[in-house]
Amino acid sequence: MLSVDGLTVRADAVDLVRDVSFAIGPGERVGLIGESGSGKSLTALSLMGLLPEGVAASGTARLGERDLVGVPESRIKDLRGRDVSMVFQEPMTALNPLMRVGAQVAEVMTLHGRSRAEARERAIELLARVRLPEPGQIARAYPHQLSGGQRQRVMLAIALANGPELLICDEPTTALDVTVQKQMLELIAEVAPALLFITHDLAVVASVCERVLVMYGGRVVESGPIRDVFTRPRHRYTEGLLAASRLTPRGTRLPTIQGGVPSAGHFPGGCVFRNRCPHATATCETAPALTGDGHAHACWHPAD
């Protein structure tokens, strides 16, 4: 349903995302994980046509037969919010503080041709669908009058308003407490069509998704079914992420990946992870390709 091939995002002659390729089938839920600065959000924003000014995407991305990259704004505007929708991390910056939330849910439908009366009625149904109590009352509230969990449910209602084929969630539960986070994850799993779920929380992606893409340095370094990647990681970066997320015995130091993610334009040539990898050799000065059927990795010295 979604096919991405050779997606590259560039700003000021610097590649922020490089040669990313993946596919999502109808009804499939795919996670996208990696440290901050890995290129996860830029990948999603490029599919929505929402890249900042001065940042451009190339390559191909197709939702069915419809192009998402390199098309005029008028065309991507017709698709955005209708065929592909996105739930952002912080609803207080995504919602309009001067509009009642019911009007904001209705607006995305009127922009795509529904009458105002029909959109208002449908907005109440959507607020009920995302399990907001007393949806009629919630529809008359302003964003600041709702809790963080309620605002995030409003964002989900907006994203679902026009029955999109693909839902993109960019760390939608980061700011929520554990109980509300669990409820939101269950709701997303229940109502989402095909899903691209971006997070840095490995437990969250394991609870929602069937397949995972691991990004580092603007590249996909490993991909495959959740069970395979999380129990038998091949790339040394994935191995480090999993080791740092596991519980350790009391008195034992938590394993960490040495160093930090370089800023854009400062990743080493060859394997983008080699300056932090304890297994790097001279071979790693040449970039490895993402290889393997089903469970793929881009590493010269994969984990056993």
Residue 248: the pLDDT is 65
Beta strand 166-170 pairing with 84-87: parallel
Residue 9: the pLDDT is 95
Compute the residue count for the chain: 304
Please, what's the b/e burial string for 93-105 (b: 16 or more CB within 10 A of its CB; e: otherwise)? ebbeeeebbbbbb
Is this structure's pTM higher than 0.85? yes
Residue 252: the pLDDT is 77
Q: What is the pLDDT along the chain (304 residues), one digit of tens a residue?
A: 899 999 999 998 899 999 999 999 999 999 999 988 889 999 999 999 999 889 999 999 999 999 999 888 888 888 888 899 999 888 888 899 999 999 999 999 998 988 999 999 999 999 998 889 999 999 999 999 998 889 988 999 999 898 899 999 998 887 778 888 888 888 888 888 899 999 988 888 998 999 999 999 999 999 999 999 999 999 999 999 998 887 666 777 878 888 888 888 788 889 999 999 999 999 999 999 998 888 999 999 998 7
Residue 93: the pLDDT is 86
Instruction: Report whether 256 contacts 237 (CB < 8 A).
Output: no
> Which residues have CB under 8 Å from 232's CB, separation 6+?
295, 303
CA distance 172 to 205: 12
Domains of the chain and CATH, by start: 2-83+164-297 (3.40.50.300), 97-157 (no CATH)
Residue 218: the pLDDT is 92
DSSP 8-class letter at 263: P
Residues forming a β-bridge with 167:
85, 195
